[in-house]
Each structure stands twice: as structure tokens, then as C-alpha cells.
């Protein structure tokens, strides 16, 4: 069974967003190792370096540099599909923003919402309709265990991930008889450029031990291939989500403050 499944992946097309570094790059590597040709996207020029690394794995790799927070950016990515059937969509683009909400630049906060939610949903709807028409496809959405807890000093980011975690389950059940699967990957703190970009290097969570993005990506990719509904990467994160489910929101918010408050890494 496994051999047949692998064989059928030859020249299948996978789209991976946020693929220039971190979990996205590792997800793209998993796709390449399993025979998927790739269309990868990110908003920075490092996507070209990522493509070189991925081509070394023996698959065709096309790149799109676009801001996936915008509908135009998503349209640019979808245009690059050129009408081909997409077998897997790995909607991984996303970023965070540290510090208190009232101290944030609103355009930066909005960019988090537009990247993590608006652009992600527009991409999923556009590609997902084609999958539903063909009655086959796999969608992997990178959510986060952050969606289980109020994100004090990371309020907008955690809010977007609560939305995405919820949305992915709803979509999965809306299309459960369509031949298209929806899987939500929920990592915890992972060793990527996330904390640096979010301005959170001086926080306890920013300085703490993190998960290996290659491990997170493998867990997510395998769950997508099985068609699982959701997967939490790492046993500590599984424990954290189980605790979050039975802990009052006020206590979770205070716990998060201790982890994400600016300067908390120096305490």
C-alpha cells in the first residue's frame, strides 16, 4: 500500500508557503523527498536559495516571491499554478509580533492578521475549490498550540492561531466526503527566525529551548499524508495543550505573560 502511494506521487504538485526558512522549508523538503514537484512562495528573496537546496533533492521547483498578506500576492501564486492539478497545499506562511497590543504599530498588527488569516483563507479557498472539483487533494494548515491560550504580549498572533485552529476543523468537516483532507499542524516554540522577526528575542520563550523544525515538519507531513485532522508536534506541547483545555483563560493569560513579556528573558 505504501509503495503504491509513493509511486503515485511522482510529478504530483505541492504548494508550500512561507517556504524560505524554518518549518516551511522543512515541509518543502519532506514533499521533495516524497516525489512532489514544488511551487514554493515567500515574501523574501531567500526563497531562491531555498529552491536551490530543494532542487538538489531531484524535483522540479518553481518560486514565487509575493506578500501573501495581500489578495494580489495570493493571486500571483495561484497564477503560477497555470491550471495544473494541485495535489497538496501546505499553507504555512505566517508571522508573529511581540510586545503589548497598545504599543504596536497597527499596520504591523494588521499584517499579522492579513498573513495568518486573510491571505491563508483566500489561498485555501482558491486552491481548495479545484481540489474539490477533482475529488482529491490534501491541505495542511500550520496552526499553533498558541491557539489554545490567550497570548499576553503576543495577543494578535495567538488570536490568529485560535482562528486558524478552529477554521481548519470546521473546513475539514464541511468537505469530509469530498475526497479532500484537511490537517492542522500545531507546533509549539520552534527553532526558527520567528522570535527574531517578532521582536521577542529578549523574552523567556524567545530564549528558551525550542523544537527542531525538521521534526515538526515530518510530524506534519506524515499527518497530512495519513489525512489526520490535527497533530501537535512534540510531547511537551501535547501536554501543554491538554492542560490548556482544562485551565481557566485568566490563568493561561498570566502564564503566557511570564513567557512573552518584553525583558522576561533577563529575569
- Residues with catalytic function: 157, 161
Burial of 248 (0-12, 13-18, 19+ CB in 10 A): exposed
Q: CA 127 to CA 140: how far, in whole Å?
A: 12
Question: Burial code of 141-169, b = ≥16 C-beta within 10 A, e = fewer?
Answer: bbbbbbbbbbbbbbbbbbbbbbbbbebbe
Q: What is the dihedral of CA 192, 193, 198, 204, to 10 degrees?
A: 50
Nearest to 260 by CA among 149, 99, 142, 119: 99
- Could you tell me which residues come within 8 angstroms of residue 128 by beta carbon, excluding any fewer than 6 positions away? 89, 137, 139, 171, 175, 180
Q: How far apart are CA 9 and CA 25, in angstroms?
A: 19
DSSP assignment of 30-54? HHHHTT-EEEEEESSTHHHHHHHHH
Q: Number of helices (H) and strands (E) in the chain: give both, helices first.
A: 12, 7
Q: What are phi and psi of 134, to 5 degrees?
A: -85, -10
Q: How far is CA 159 from CA 97, 148, 152, in A?
A: 12, 9, 10
CA distance 200 to 238: 23
Amino acid at each position: 500500500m505504501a509503495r503504491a502511494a509513493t509511486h503515485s506521487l511522482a510529478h504530483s504538485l505541492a504548494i508550500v508557503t512561507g517556504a524560505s526558512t524554518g518549518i516551511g522549508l522543512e515541509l518543502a523538503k519532506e514533499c521533495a523527498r516524497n516525489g512532489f514537484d514544488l511551487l514554493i512562495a515567500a515574501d523574501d528573496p531567500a526563497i531562491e536559495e531555498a529552491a536551490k537546496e530543494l532542487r538538489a533533492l531531484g524535483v522540479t521547483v518553481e518560486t514565487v516571491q509575493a506578500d501573501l498578506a495581500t489578495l494580489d500576492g495570493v493571486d500571483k501564486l495561484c497564477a503560477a499554478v497555470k491550471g495544473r492539478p494541485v495535489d497538496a497545499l501546505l499553507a504555512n506562511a505566517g508571522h508573529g509580533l511581540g510586545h503589548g497590543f497598545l504599543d504596536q504599530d497597527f499596520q504591523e498588527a494588521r499584517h499579522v492578521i492579513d498573513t495568518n488569516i486573510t491571505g491563508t483563507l483566500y489561498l485555501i479557498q482558491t486552491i481548495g475549490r479545484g481540489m474539490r472539483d477533482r475529488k482529491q487533494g490534501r491541505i495542511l494548515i500550520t496552526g499553533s498550540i498558541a491557539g489554545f491560550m490567550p497570548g499576553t504580549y503576543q495577543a494578535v498572533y495567538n488570536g490568529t492561531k485560535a482562528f486558524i485552529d478552529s477554521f481548519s476543523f470546521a473546513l475539514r468537516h464541511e468537505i469530509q466526503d469530498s475526497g479532500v483532507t484537511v490537517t492542522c499542524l500545531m507546533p509549539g516554540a520552534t527553532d526558527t527566525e520567528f522570535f527574531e522577526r517578532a521582536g521577542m528575542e529578549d523574552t523567556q520563550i524567545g530564549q528558551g529551548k525550542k523544537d527542531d523544525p525538521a521534526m515538526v515538519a515530518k510530524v506534519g507531513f506524515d499527518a497530512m499524508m495519513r489525512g489526520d485532522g490535527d497533530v501537535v508536534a512534540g510531547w511537551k506541547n501535547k501536554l501543554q495543550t491538554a492542560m490548556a483545555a482544562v485551565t481557566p483563560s485568566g490563568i493561561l493569560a498570566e502564564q503566557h505573560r511570564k513567557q512573552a513579556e518584553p525583558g522576561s528573558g533577563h529575569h
